[in-house]
Amino acid sequence: MKRKEFRPDLTDYEIYVMALVDELNKESAYKMNKTDAVKIAIEKAVKSLLPDIVIKSKRTRYVTLKM
């Protein structure tokens, strides 16, 4: 069975997503795009609200550089 893609319309939230991307990219080793920023936000929310669930991320890990 083919898995259906989940593509939510976040147009109304784009300004918040872009602010998050800008903040993440200030000190990051790898530049984040909007999709990665939304995934990071969801992962943080799930860790906070549903601590029993373990997330296995497929994206590049978020690493900051202290300069």
Give the model's pLDDT for residue 57: 75
Confidence band (pLDDT; 50, 70, 90) for 49?
very high
Confidence band (pLDDT; 50, 70, 90) for 38?
very high
Which alpha helices (H) appear in 1-67, and where do they start and end? 14-25, 34-49
Give the model's pLDDT for residue 67: 62
Give the model's pLDDT for residue 56: 81
pLDDT at 62 over 80: no
Q: State the burial class of residue 57 (Cβ atoms within 10 Å of its Cβ: 0-12, 13-18, 19+).
A: exposed
Give the model's pLDDT for residue 29: 77
**How far is the C-alpha of 64 from the C-alpha of 46, rounded, in Å?**
21
